[in-house]
Structure 1
Amino acid sequence: MNDIFNFFGSILGYLLWWLYYLVGNYGVAIILFTLIVKMFLFPFFIKQQRSMAATAKLSVKQKEIQKKYANDKQRMQIEMQKLYEKEGVNPSGGCLTMILPFLVMLGLYYTVLNPLSNALHLSSEAVNKAVAMLNHVPGIGNSFNTQYAQIEIVKNFTNLKPFLGMFSGDELARLESFNHGFRFLGLNLLDTPCDAANIFGTLFRSNLWIIPVLCLVVYLSSQFITTKMMSAVQQQQQQGCVKYTMYIMSFVSAWFACTVPAAVGFYWIISSALGFVQNVIMNKWYGPDALNAQAEARRVALLEQEEAAIKPIPHVAIKEKAGSKKVEKRRK
């Protein structure tokens, strides 16, 4: 599964490296990177929202069919298919729009997670040798999380340069350039805010405490405001454990932001903030009520066009028709 996400991360990494090359700062590159991908995925989210709204509109009729043919599953499926065809709804229409954004977002994460493979696109053989070499370097070996080994190499490039003979001169130059581009607003995005084993003792020793705090604030705020903007029906659907799970995840994400390189936590913050803006837009212009209103407006407009297309009966024809009726009555 990691190979699939790394594949998407590698593709997206070309965009990240181009943006970094353009602006020369990894923090700014992540912001632009996430913004561009969100804009690319926006039409897919709109299509998914429309599919969900159309399906929700049929829920009452679906329940009636399910109740009527509860003992005849085959007939139930036939009637359901007839309903979808009549209403012009494809029940699987939103599948791709749900899967693709999920793969892309995980690809974004893996792009940030593995900068040597997915941003710089260094040879996998050389990267594997460099990661294995870390275990034998004095002062670094066995003191780092192997999941973030590539970030550790970029972070400690100056000290590790004599050990990085597996890379060519051009690759070393790109690595060195990358090493200098991770400072953003006074923060070193290659550092980790705190040590998971001693979180309370190390959290406030660095200004990186702002990363997990912002991660918590942005996530909580977006969940709270998004919930307030939901319709009454949507809020009822999020009662119970589903509703509280979203808030629990806010604290979980903040915890992880404490213990991973700040570049990863920074990406989470930007992604959550832009996701919130996207939710506001979606809820205002593409929410269930708005989509249903648009559908009704299209239906009314179509009826008006059909009525306008009907040719009126000429006035003379009306008189002739009325006269023929009078003649028939006299004959009777």
Structure 2
Amino acid sequence: MMSIFNFFGSVLGYLLWFLYTVFKNYGIAIILFTIIVKALMFPFSIKSQKSMAAQSRLASKQQELQKKYAKDQMKYNEELQKLYEKEGVNPGGGCLTTLLPFPIMLGIYYSVIYPLSNTLHIAKDTISQATEFVSKIPGIASTNQYVELEIVKNFDALKDHLTMFSADDVQKIEFFGKGFKCFGLDLLASPNTSSFASMLWIIPVLALVTYWGQSFVMQKLQPTQQQGAGQGCMKVMMYGMPLLSAYWAYIMPAAVGFYWIISALVGFAQTLITHKYFSPEQVSAKSEASRYVTLLQADRKVKPLPANLQKQIADKIEAKNQAQAERQAAQKEKKAAGKKGGNAQKNKGNSTDYLGSKK
């Protein structure tokens, strides 16, 4: 699993390196990288919005099924699945944008903690020799997971001993190490190992606030989407993601937390856009209109029968209806006649009894 995310980090590293060479600042590169990634993910966000709106539309029908099959959970699940299939709703579609940031974040994480491998793409054998040498230095050996970061941070002091790097590698590392200062923060350092004066503690705090704020606004803008199958996903977004992002931003290099904050801010803007143009009401209305147009087009594709055949069928249907009407009329007359005869017989009996009692 780690190798997969490391490969993903290597792929993302090409984009980060390109942006860094243009703007010469890692923070700016992360901001632009986040905007690009969010733009690429925007179609998935729209698809998720449509799925959640569809689930909201089916909430009343789902409640009816819950009442009808309250004592038979298996039957309820079966009927619910049929309902989803009939309406073309994917119950897991709302979780898509909740889960997608994780591989993106892990890719960023691996591109940050392994900058020599995944961002600068220096040869593996060369990096292995360098990390083996640096890991023997007291103070660095205990942070072997971040050895590549330590090399970039302390390259001025170490480069005379790291003779395994080529002149081109040395130039790239020196150029790369100068661009990690952004807004007065050292993005190579980690908040949990930095002093209060470094101001890096603001990274996990902002990560918590921005992600919670994004989730809170989403909940307020789309309250009906808290029902149904998307409820679990929304709880994860509301409580789990902010706490997880704050914790990771605290223990990881500040560049990761910085990405987390920028991602939340861009995601917040994306939420406002999707709500304005793809609200549940608009999505439902478009869905119904699309369904109507589909049915209308299907009707137009049906070729009408020849006129003489239509007349034959119409005459048969009319004759059948007329015969049925005549049978019903005959049955009513027979029933009415039977009822009239019974009343006459009853009246005759009553008259005889009366005369007999008179005598």
Report the Cα distance in structure 2 between the residues aligned to 1:76 and 1:193, rounded to whole angstroms: 47
Q: Determine the C-alpha separation between the residues in 1 that align with 2:271 and 2:239.
A: 17
Residue in 2 that maps onto 1:254: 246
Alignment-mate amino acid for residue 184 of structure 2: G
Structure 1 residues 184-225: Cα deviation after superposition (integer angstroms, max 9, x where no partner) = 122221123343xxx8xx32x223343233223322322332
After superposition, where does 1:1-332 map in structure 2 within 5 Å? Answer: 1-58=1-58, 61=61, 77=78, 83-84=83-84, 86-89=86-89, 102-138=102-138, 140-143=139-142, 145-195=143-193, 202-203=195-196, 205-232=197-224, 234=226, 243=235, 246-247=238-239, 250-251=242-243, 253-300=245-292
What is the rounded CA distance, in whole Å, between the counterparts of 1:255 and 1:72 in structure 2?
A: 39
Q: What is the alpha-carbon distance in structure 1 between the residues aligned to residue 230 and residue 90 of structure 2?
A: 25
Give the TM-score, by structure 1 length.
Answer: 0.74
Counterpart contact for 1:47–1:97, Cα < 8 Å: no
Task: Please give the per-residue CA displacement for 1:148-177, whole angstroms capped at 9, x wherever unaligned.
Answer: 222222111111212322322211211111
Aligned-partner Cα distance in 2 for 1:283–1:277:
10
Q: How far apart in 2 are the matches of 1:215 and 1:71?
A: 44
1:269 deviates by 1.0
Give me the whole-angstrom Cα distance separating, in 2, the residues matched to 1:235 and 1:63: 10
- Secondary structure of 1:191's match? coil
| In 1, Cα distance between equivalents of 2:265 and 2:181 | 21
Deviation, structure 1 residue 93: 6.7
1:24-77 CA distances to partner (integer Å, 9 max, x unpaired)?
Answer: 111110111111011111112222332343345445556766856986969975
Under a length normalisation based on structure 2, what TM-score does the superposition of the two structures give?
0.69
Alignment match, 2:318: none
Q: Distance in 1 between matches of 2:65 and 2:72?
A: 11
Partner amino acid, structure 2, of 1:193 = P
- The offset of 1:132, in angstroms, is 2.6
Structure 1 residues 258 and 88: CA distance shift in structure 2, 3 A? closer
- Note the residue ranges of structure 1 that are not aligned, 5 or more in a row: 312-332
Separation in 1 of the partners of 2:39 and 2:157? 39
Question: Are the aligned partners of 2:50 and 2:283 in contact in 1 as well (CA < 8 Å)?
Answer: yes
The alignment of Structure 1 onto Structure 2 pairs a total of residues equal to 304
The offset of 1:248, in angstroms, is: 6.6
Name which one, 1 or 2, has greater alpha-carbon Rg. 2
Could you say if the C-alpha distance between residues 93 and 293 of structure 1 is closer, same or farther in structure 2, counting changes exceeding 3 Å? Answer: same
Is the Cα–Cα contact under 8 Å of residues 41 and 101 in structure 1 kept in the other structure? no
SS state at 2:141 partner = coil
State the Cα distance separating 1:83 from its structure 2 match: 4.6
Q: 1:10 to 1:301 in 2, by over 3 A?
A: same
Q: Over aligned residue pairs, what C-alpha RMSD do you find?
A: 4.0
Distance in 1, matches of 2:191 and 2:96, equals 37
Alpha-carbon distance in structure 2 between the residues aligned to 1:306 and 1:300: 10
Gaps of 5+ in 2: 304-359
Return closer, same or farther for 1:155/1:272 CA change in 2, 3 Å cut-off.
same
